[in-house]
Amino acid sequence: MMAGLLMIVFVIWFGWWLFDSHRVYPASIYVESGEPFYKVVVKLRDREVIGSPWFFSKVGMLAGLDRRIIPGRYDFSSRLSNYDVLRTLWQGRIARLSFTVPEGYSLSQIGQLLHQRCGTDLDVFNSLARDSIYLDSLGIKAGFAEGYLFPETYNFQWGITSHEVFESMAEQLFVRLDDTLMARADSLGYDLDGLLTMASIIEMEGSRVDEFGKIASVYANRRRIGMKLQADPTVIYGMGGLDRKLQIKDYEFPSRYNTYLHHGLPPTPICSPGMAAIRATLYPDSTDYLYFVADGTGYHVFNKTYSGHLTDTRKIKSNKRH
Radius of gyration of the chain (CA): 28
Rounded distance between C-alpha atoms, residue 185 and residue 195, angstroms: 7
Number of domains in the chain: 3
Q: Is residue 296 part of a domain?
A: no
The verdict on 134 and 212 lying in the same domain is no
The verdict on 190 and 280 lying in the same domain is yes
For the domain that residue 85 is a member of, what is the CATH number? 3.30.1490.480
In the listed set 176, 194, 219, which residue is the last one of a domain according to the structure? 176
Q: Is residue 303 part of a domain?
A: no
The verdict on 200 and 255 lying in the same domain is yes
Task: State pLDDT tens for residues 196-255.
Answer: 999 999 999 998 999 999 999 999 999 999 999 999 999 999 999 988 889 999 999 999
Q: What pLDDT, on the 0 to 100 scale, is given for residue 2?
A: 64
Task: State pLDDT tens for residues 57-85.
Answer: 888 888 888 888 878 788 888 888 888 88
The verdict on 185 and 277 lying in the same domain is yes
Rounded distance between C-alpha atoms, residue 29 and residue 119, angstroms: 13
**Of the candidate ranges 140-149, 258-267, 276-285, 311-320, the one whose mean pLDDT is the lowest:** 311-320
Strand stretches in 169-321, DSSP E: 291-294, 300-303
The verdict on 152 and 193 lying in the same domain is no
Rounded distance between C-alpha atoms, residue 213 and residue 281, angstroms: 7
Q: Is residue 321 part of a domain?
A: no
For the domain that residue 129 is a member of, what is the CATH number? 3.30.1490
In the listed set 176, 196, 217, which residue is the last one of a domain according to the structure? 176
Rounded distance between C-alpha atoms, residue 4 and residue 153, angstroms: 58
Task: State pLDDT tens for residues 159-185.
Answer: 889 999 999 999 999 999 999 999 999
Q: What pLDDT, on the 0 to 100 scale, is given for residue 3?
A: 65
Residues in the chain: 322
Domain that holds residue 194: 179-289
Q: Is residue 11 part of a domain?
A: no
The verdict on 144 and 227 lying in the same domain is no
Assess contact for 274 and 205: CB atoms under 8 A: no
The verdict on 255 and 164 lying in the same domain is no
In the listed set 176, 200, 225, which residue is the last one of a domain according to the structure? 176
Strand stretches in the chain, DSSP E: 22-31, 72-80, 96-100, 153-157, 291-294, 300-303
Determine if the pTM surpasses 0.85.
no
